[in-house]
Amino acid sequence: MTPLRTFLAAAAVVGLVGTGAALRSGPTAAHATPSVLTDGSIPDVAERVVDSVVNISTSHVVEAGPASFDPFFSDPFSPGFGEPGDRRAMSKGSGVIVTASGRILTNAHVVKDADDIKVTLHDGNDYDAKVLGVDPKADLAVIQLKGNLPALKPLTFGDSAALRLGDVVLAIGDPFGVGKSVTMGIVSAKGRGGMGIEEYEDFIQTDAAINPGNSGGALVNLKGELIGINTAIASKSGGYAGIGFAIPTNMARPIMDQLIKDGKVSRGYLGINIATVTPSLAKEHNLPAQHGALVAGIDPRGPASQSSLAEGDVVIALNGSEIKTSDVLKNTIAMIKPGTTIDLEVVHKNGSKGAVKAKLGEMPADNLVPARMLPKLRKQQQQRRP
């Protein structure tokens, strides 16, 4: 990508742009410089992991015509610019080497629609790659390098659930196409959902500098372990504003394994429409619990309809783990294998507690359930069902 193309692309960021994501604007977080580091030194970690992150360049044919022309993303230095006929759209991103055989984990939007993928490794050479599987609902993809490869250094997966607020992290990627870069920050928040970036969200928020081009790159801890895949930013300008988001490895790894094995992701499906219960909503709608996931609708064709679950119930636990929000319930069910029987703890409309067993089906392509109750609540919080 030329410097001009990159600059124009950054200036026009709206949503996912193949080099990162922009959200609604928000305040800029302060960039923290820790005074005490308890793990490896930053230079040691950076030098150890940087060769495990790659640059990814993709291209695909775009049909010519007024509807397809976008002045912000048209590269005047690309072949065929200004000529009639189809053109090739090009974009850049990052990826993480996860196996010595050349498998790379990245964002789905980095390789979306690509018919040509080039990966630049630590030796400076470009290698062709093919897509093994894509999961757009979580914005993850796995690609495989082709040909004779140099010795590769896959990153070790860490436990993203063990992260604590304030932990120092490093973000590695190819921001603005300038080349691989390492930035440092802290874990600003965990479990960020409801951002409207992806269908399934459980983001790590960090103030490590993340910019367009970092998409698909690594977020690592001071042990040099991969704990997140950088995927989005919140920014007015499209550049670094101190709020970046990464998909945690505890979510990314099982999705990656399914993509490698099956080329797709099969998600558990209960067939309910849900909304997060808060104390204010509970008071306003006379709900039987202060926290949890409200069952606001049940698919008559779904697994939940074969259980004792009812509209108005509030789910407060799944398989013994507390459920505080609808996002947690949705993400947890989605990661359970279809055909599995789950145990739900619910508070019924009359205030009594009960246990519900349900056998999960497989998530259908169209996963919307009409909710037939609490119209004001549905308007505020209606979500896609798990």
The kind and range of the H/E element at 10 are: helix 3-11
109 noted as active-site residue: yes
Exposure string for 154-184, b = 16+ CB within 10 A, e = fewer: bbebbebeebeeebbbbbbbbbbbeebbbbb
Name the one residue in this structure whose structure tokens are 């372990």.
Answer: 225
Calculate the CA dihedral of residues 189, 194, 199, 202 and round it to 10 degrees: 20
Marked catalytic residue, from 51, 75, 109, 326: 109
Q: Categorise residue 259: left if φ over 0, alpha if ψ from -120 to 50, beta otherwise.
A: alpha
269 touches 256 (CB < 8 A)? no
44 noted as active-site residue: no
Marked catalytic residue, from 75, 139, 167, 207: 139
Give 196-200 contacts, CB < 8 A, sequence gap 24+.
Answer: 196/23, 196/24, 197/16, 197/21, 197/23, 197/139, 197/231, 197/232, 197/245, 198/137, 198/138, 198/139, 198/231, 199/137, 199/138, 199/384, 200/137, 200/138, 200/251, 200/330, 200/331, 200/334
Q: Distance between CA 192 and CA 366 in Å, rounded?
A: 25
Phi, psi of 260 (to 5 degrees): -70, -40
Residues with Cβ within 8 Å of residue 36, at least 6 apart in sequence: none
Residues designated catalytic: 109, 139, 215
